[in-house]
A = this chain, B = another copy of it.
Amino acid sequence: MAIDNEIKIPEDSRLGGARSVGIVTTQYATFAEPPDQLELDSGQRLGPITLAYETYGTLSAQHDNAVLVFHALSGDAHVAGYNSPDDRKPGWWDLLIGPNKPLDTNRYYIICANVIGGCKGSTGPSSINPQTGAPYGLRFPVITIGDMVKAQRYLVDYLGIEKLLAVVGGSMGGMQALEWAVRFPQRTAAVLAIATTARQSAQGIAFDEVGRQAIMSDANWCEGNYYGSATPSAGLAIARMIAHITYLSDEQMHIKFGRRLQTRDALGYDFSTDFQVESYLKYQGDSFVRRFDANSYLYITKAIDYYDLTAGRGSLLEAFSGVPAEFLVVSFTSDWLYPTYQSKELVRALQANGISTTFLEIPSNYGHDSFLLPNEQLSEAVSDFVDNIYQRVHSVTGKSR
């Protein structure tokens, strides 16, 4: 997620606006207390696991209207509304979530949790390791997208939801949506996989690895033991700047910045900031280090790079075998991080399994970040798809009462 700093907040998303969920409180729940720890894909065990989460709307009596939203790399549980009246910005997907919005909180019960490995309230490398009384640092086990969804299953159980109406996510959130559908095929009716991939590409791994190297070669990183001291902020800022370029598009950068100068009316002939695009990137890097933990960045990008839905499952075709959910797959024309051809691979494997699949490639200049920005086509597709599923599921559960 990149340009959330810049989203112009529509009137109806503003605090007090008729289509805002208003003030929401982040909640916390703890699972996997020893000795019942979570067995991770690595074979290691993790627990206790605290998840920070938010919910919006009301769970129906039939528990048939729950939608689990997964966040991307730098996201968190706060997907809609405001945590306090002083908040300047709403949650990261407020455009889609609220009364009479595509994921309509008058109708649906929306859940979003911070991933494990994160730094926004869920257990991660900056959390206290109960065995040592100090932050985990690199003692935190390397986790996978599969581990993220296994942790979130605790929450779904805890909330008393046997079967979700839908799982929804963009980017790394889309990976979690796919993984949920394959790991827990009976536990969602629908999957919305947006601007995502079934397996991280070599180019994607390459960008992430350079970011990790930037963090790990920062003299303040200290093998991850920097809590309470100076943080590897320069390395993390560089990692963020690299990643940020991959969230935009060549065309959008040309339109937005071109070769325009930042403050001076001529080239500076020095190594300070000449161009607006340089200033913008530095701002993105600097603001990111104030809100994100460098070790979490290592762990989450590693989970992304490890992501391969086919691993241990033979092929994409076999991975989706027997999955009963319906799918909406969305890509954006200018997304070169998870390009359309990767979505089409997904769609081919789904269709070959006879799975009901809607595929939409949305024209957009905004690159990978398109999924976070106002987009009529995305809003309509999400709204129509989920409403459709809801009508069907609701008529069934209505009958079964």
Q: What are the residues of chain B within 8 A of A271 when measuring CB–CB?
A: 138, 142, 212, 216, 298, 302
A residues 90-136 near B (Cβ < 8 Å) are none
Q: Is A400 an interface residue (CB 8 A)?
A: no
| Residue in B142, B234, B259 whose CB lies within 8 Å of A200 | B259
Q: What are the residues of chain B within 8 A of A250 when measuring CB–CB?
A: 201-203, 336, 339
* Shortest Cβ distance from A276 into B: residue: B202
A residues 349-376 near B (Cβ < 8 Å) are none
Question: In the complex the two chains form, is B209's CB within 8 Å of A277's CB?
Answer: yes
| Residue in B199, B217, B258 whose CB lies within 8 Å of A202 | B258
Q: Is A54 an interface residue (CB 8 A)?
A: no
Which interface class (under 10, 10 to 19, 20 to 34, 35 or more) fits A?
35 or more
A residues 231-255 near B (Cβ < 8 Å) are 234-235, 237-238, 241-242, 245, 248, 250, 253-254
Question: In the complex the two chains form, is B206's CB within 8 Å of A245's CB?
Answer: yes
A residues 313-367 near B (Cβ < 8 Å) are 336, 339
Q: Is A76 an interface residue (CB 8 A)?
A: no
Q: What are the residues of chain B within 8 A of A281 when measuring CB–CB?
A: 206, 209-210
Q: Is A292 an interface residue (CB 8 A)?
A: no
Question: In the complex the two chains form, is A257's CB within 8 Å of B214's CB?
Answer: no
Q: Is A229 an interface residue (CB 8 A)?
A: no
Q: What are the residues of chain B within 8 A of A209 when measuring CB–CB?
A: 241, 275, 277-278, 281-282
Q: What are the residues of chain B within 8 A of A202 when measuring CB–CB?
A: 250, 253-254, 256-259, 275, 277
Q: What are the residues of chain B within 8 A of A48 when measuring CB–CB?
A: none
Q: What are the residues of chain B within 8 A of A305 when measuring CB–CB?
A: 274-275
A44, A200, A203: most-surrounded residue (chain B CB, <10 A): A203
A209, A241, A256: most-surrounded residue (chain B CB, <10 A): A209
Q: What are the residues of chain B within 8 A of A47 when measuring CB–CB?
A: none
Q: What are the residues of chain B within 8 A of A206 when measuring CB–CB?
A: 241, 245, 253, 277-278, 281
A residues 174-218 near B (Cβ < 8 Å) are 199-203, 205-207, 209-210, 212-214, 216-218
Question: How many angstroms from the CA of A185 to the CA of B218 in the assembled complex?
Answer: 48
What's the nearest-Cβ distance from chain B to residue A204, in Å? 9
Question: How many angstroms from the CA of A270 to the CA of B253 in the assembled complex?
Answer: 35
Question: How many angstroms from the CA of A306 to the CA of B42 in the assembled complex?
Answer: 48
Q: Is A267 an interface residue (CB 8 A)?
A: yes
| Residue in B44, B238, B274, B306 whose CB lies within 8 Å of A214 | B238
* Shortest Cβ distance from A224 into B: residue: B271
Question: In the complex the two chains form, is A201's CB within 8 Å of B238's CB?
Answer: no
Q: What are the residues of chain B within 8 A of A141 when measuring CB–CB?
A: 269
Q: Is A29 an interface residue (CB 8 A)?
A: no
Q: Which 5 A-B pairs have the closest CB atoms?
A: A217-B234, A202-B253, A42-B269, A142-B269, A202-B257
Q: 4 additional contacts, CB 8 Å, given A206-B278, A210-B241, A210-B245? A: A201-B254, A214-B214, A217-B218, A271-B302
